[in-house]
Structure 1
Amino acid sequence: MPYAGAMARLRAAQREMTRTLLLDAGLDLFVSKGYATTTVDDIATAAGTTRVTFYAYFPSKVEVVKALLAERLNALLARVPSAERGSTENELVAVVEDGSPERIRSWLATTSERWDAIRPYTTTAHAAAAVDPEIRTLLDEWLDEAIGDIRDGLDRAERFPATTRHFRSVLAITELDHVARQWQPDRWGVARDEMLDVLAESWVASIGRRR
């Protein structure tokens, strides 16, 4: 029995390693080659396995993107499962509820330190969404979860007219998503601290608590 248990754990570890290799290979290829031109065979070969093995783990490359977003990107962003919607970032909700310029600026600064790590995932998602309606829907739902976090914070604070809170949340997340995907040092003629200052000013104006 101990031997059987050890073998079962070994098989489980091997399966997890193969799945990880497939996800790693998929992300690398989606970034370097593009989602539209990357095939299942490309991913399997890059992972050192076969097409048959790929399909034992994922029904399609769409499912690879789903796993990259739901598992890895959410982990990077500290998003946790939510009963109300797919995921939530509790700290973001708390920051928006507080609404102070200082706390918003601090949260944006902390988040910006992860932009390099999350960019491959968000870039892949947007590229895939442009050619695959299923990913488009998935990306919209994922962004709606972040929008919902801001809306929750505004609702808790009872800040701004209720009829404008959702739209304000859309503006804030759309702005953040674009900047996070596009930002490079000194791009747009501003250094990192200046960029964060301006971004924070915009967030305070649209969703924050004014002094």
Structure 2
Amino acid sequence: MSADAAPKLTMRDRHRIMTRDQIMTSALEAFAERGYVATTVDDIVGRAGIGRATFYLHFDSKAAVLRELRNTRMTVWTEQDAPRGGPKGRPSVRSFFEKVVDFYTSAPELYTALHQARAADPEFAAAHRATMEADVAEWIRSDAMPGAGEAQLRLAIAMMYTMVDSFMHLWLVDGWPLDRDAAIEAMTDALYSTMR
């Protein structure tokens, strides 16, 4: 067997993966129908056709399921996809916003659940802030904004998350008619102006 070949999955491994996927699918359906806050673990296990014990073999909370949904369904972006400051960075900022907007418009129920979880679940809100802190550290490491200090990086990251969240909420949740390209262009201009 070559070093690149994936190990062969046993029947038990395949069953575990299928059960985990069923839990995530059932959770997303429940979040879409009832909202994140109103959804219980019992709602999820009922939809998945499993017992609570099986749920807890895979996840320790509904917040853990939502984090896994976010992590597995979001497009994997490389370091080169991150927004960049400097004189030639504007196209990277626009590309970043395009990818985020397109992802959330393809999965509005996931966006809504994430938004609700950040607002109502302290565990999920803390995880979201940890992600933002990791972004600050990554932008420092990669020199995403040449010459910028930590305070300027924090401002840019806060603006980036806030603009995306506000735009997506107005568009996907409130149904406000916004032009995708105009909104992306406006967010690009605002973020890029802080990154120069």
* TM-score, normalisation: structure 2: 0.77
Change (3 A) 1:35 1:113: closer
Deviation digits for residues 64-98 of structure 1 (CA, Å, limit 9, x no counterpart): 223223x324xx2325xxxxxxxxx5134463466
1:77 maps to 2:75: yes
Please state how far the C-alpha of 1:156 moved relative to its aligned partner: 5.3
Report if the CA contact (8 A) 1:108-1:196 is conserved: yes
- From 100, 103, 109, the counterpart of 2:98: 109
Q: How many pairs were matched up?
A: 188
Instruction: Give, as a single letter, the amino acid of the residue that structure 2 aligns with 1:192.
Output: R
2: CA distance between counterparts of 1:196 and 1:110? 10
Which residue among 101, 126, 140 is the counterpart of 2:129? 140
SS at match of 1:183: helix
State the AA in 1 paired with 2:121: D
- Shift of the 94–171 alpha-carbon distance from structure 1 to 2, 3 Å rule, reads closer
1:180 aligns with 2:178: no
Q: Distance in 2 between matches of 1:96 and 1:119?
A: 29
Identity %: 22
Structure 1 residue 18: Cα displacement = 0.6
Aligned ranges 1:81-96 → 2 under 5 Å: 89-93=78-82, 95-96=84-85
Counterpart CA distance in 2 for 1:191 and 1:20 is: 34
| Residue of 113, 120, 125 corresponding to 2:109 | 120
Find the counterpart in structure 1 of residue 59 from structure 2: 58
Match of 2:5 in 1: none
Is 1:200 the equivalent of 2:195?
Answer: no
C-alpha offsets along residues 109-162 of structure 1, whole Å, 9 cap, x if unaligned?
A: 343222223543342123123332212211222233345555556555225x66
C-alpha contact (below 8 Å) 2:28/2:109 kept by paired residues:
yes
> Structure 1 pair 141/27, CA: closer, same or farther in 2 (3 Å)?
same
- Structure exhibiting the larger radius of gyration computed from Cα positions: 1
Q: Quick one: structure 1 residues 107 and 78, their matched pair in 2 at CA, closer, same or farther if it must change by over 3 Å?
A: same
Helix, strand or coil at the partner of 1:36? coil
What SS does the corresponding residue of 2:120 show, helix, strand or coil?
Answer: coil
Change (3 A) 1:163 1:193: closer
Distance change >3 Å, CA 130–CA 108, structure 1 → 2: closer
Contact 2:28 2:110 in 1 (8 A): yes
User: Structure 1 residues 132, 11: closer, same or farther in 2, change over 3 A?
Assistant: same
Q: C-alpha separation between the residues in 2 aligned to 1:130 and 1:162?
A: 26
- Structure 1 window deviating more from structure 2 (25-34 vs 148-157): it is 148-157
Q: Partner amino acid for 1:179? A: F
Runs of 5+ unmatched residues, structure 1: 1-5, 80-88
CA contact (8 A) 1:93 1:149 kept: no
Aligned to 2:44: 43
**Residue pair 2:36, 2:113 contacting (<8 A) in 1 also:** yes
Do 1:151 and 1:166's aligned partners in 2 also have CA atoms closer than 8 Å? no
| TM-score, normalising length: structure 1 | 0.72
Distance, in Å, in 2 between the alignment partners of 1:62 and 1:189 is 31
1:166 lines up with 2:145 in the alignment: no
- The ranges of structure 1 where at least 4 consecutive aligned residues each deviate by more than 6 angstroms after the TM superposition are none
